[in-house]
Amino acid sequence: MALYVASKHAVEGYSESLDHEVHEHGVRVLLVQPAHTRTGFDTNAAQPDTPLPLYAERRRVFDEVMAEAMKNGDDPAVVAKVIVTAATDKKPKLRYTAGPLASRVTTARRLVPAGTFDKQIRKNNRMPT
């Protein structure tokens, strides 16, 4: 998952920088940031050609966590509504949070000490603390 998460951070950084570059031309780059959404993401995720035995248990747990997250995630209509809001906003913001879980995570990241936030991420993902 580290590669996936790193690519999300890269897209976020690129989008923020690009927004600054094109803003003078009347173009905005917007980020819609959902949390878990009920989709087939977990069943469509790429699998390694040669899985490393060292990661077998972590992969098994991760697959369970993701399946549960997709099952209990926000309705895709919640994300679609935020996309429409962002696209039609008269004064667009750079970031739009989509769904209640994403809103809670965004708020927690701002207000909760980093160590406590990290512990919760590890707990939710059933990782050793």
The pLDDT, as a whole number, for residue 129 is: 80
pTM for this model (two decimals): 0.84
| Structural domain contains residue 84 | yes
Return the bridge partners of 37, or none.
74
| Structural domain contains residue 38 | yes
Per-residue pLDDT tens over the stretch 77-118: 999 999 999 999 999 999 999 999 999 999 999 999 999 999
Residue range of the domain that includes 100: 26-124
What is the rounded average pLDDT for all residues in the chain?
93
Distance from C-alpha of 8 to C-alpha of 10, rounded to nearest angstrom: 5
Record the tokens describing residue 4, joined without a space. Answer: 């996936």
| Structural domain contains residue 14 | no
**What number of other Cβ atoms are within 10 A of residue 3's Cβ?**
8
Residue 107: its H or E element? helix 100-111
| Structural domain contains residue 12 | no
- From the list 9, 28, 32, 10, the residue with the least C-alpha distance to 19 is 28
Return the bridge partners of 31, or none.
95
